[in-house]
Amino acid sequence: MNDAKNSPAAPILAGHLLVQCLMEQGVTQAFGVPGESYLAVLDGFAQYREKIQFITCRQEGGAAFMAEAAGKLSGRPGICLVTRGPGATNASIGLHNAFQDSTPMVLLVGDVGRDMRDREAFQEMDFFGFFKPIAKRVERIDDAARIPEYIARAFATAMNGRPGPVVLILPEDMLTEQVNASPLPKIEPVQSWSDPGALRSLREMLLKSERPLVIAGGGGWTVQAAQALQRFAENWQLPVCNAFRFQDTFDNHHPLYAGDVGIGINPALAQRVRNADLLLVIGPRLGEMTTGGYTLIEAPRPNNSSFTSTPAPKS
117 and 220 share one domain: no
In-domain check, residue 54: yes
What values do phi and psi take at 157, rounded to 5?
Answer: -70, -40
In-domain check, residue 189: no
238 and 173 share one domain: no
26 and 70 share one domain: yes
20 and 167 share one domain: yes
52 and 175 share one domain: yes
Percent of the chain with pLDDT over 90: 72
pTM: 0.83
pLDDT in tens, 225-247: 999 999 999 999 999 999 988 88
Q: Which among 127, 151, 179 is the end of a domain? A: 179
Domain range for residue 292? 196-310
What was the pLDDT predicted at 248?
87
What was the pLDDT predicted at 197?
86
175 and 246 share one domain: no
In-domain check, residue 227: yes
96 and 209 share one domain: no
What was the pLDDT predicted at 31?
98
169 and 111 share one domain: yes
CA–CA separation, 28 vs 44, rounded Å? 13
In-domain check, residue 184: no
Residue among 92, 68, 79 at smallest CA distance from 245? 68
29 and 175 share one domain: yes
93 and 44 share one domain: yes
SS3 6: helix
Length of the chain: 315
Whether residue 72 contacts residue 219, with contact meaning beta carbons closer than 8 Å, is answered with: yes
In-domain check, residue 95: yes
CATH number at residue 131: 3.40.50.970
C-alpha Rg value of the chain to the nearest Å:
23
What was the pLDDT predicted at 251?
93
Task: Please list the ranges in the chain whose pLDDT falls under 70.
Answer: 1-9, 300, 303-315
Q: How many CB atoms lie within 10 A of CB 189?
A: 17
CA–CA separation, 281 vs 166, rounded Å? 26
In-domain check, residue 187: no
Residue 104, H or E segment: none
What was the pLDDT predicted at 74?
92
CATH number at residue 208: 3.40.50.1220
CA–CA separation, 147 vs 272, rounded Å? 51
Q: What's the angle, vertex CA 137, arms to CA 245 and CA 148, rounded to 5? A: 115
In-domain check, residue 191: no
CA–CA separation, 208 vs 185, rounded Å? 48
14 and 152 share one domain: yes
Q: Which among 179, 208, 230 is the end of a domain? A: 179
Residue 78, H or E segment: strand 78-82
CA distances (Å), origin 165, targets 8, 125, 139: 33, 19, 12
Residue among 21, 14, 22, 23 at smallest CA distance from 179? 14
CA–CA separation, 203 vs 31, rounded Å? 45
**Overall domain count for the chain:** 2
In-domain check, residue 31: yes
What was the pLDDT predicted at 313?
62
Q: Which among 146, 179, 212 is the end of a domain? A: 179
28 and 65 share one domain: yes
- Cα 263 to chain centroid, rounded: 23
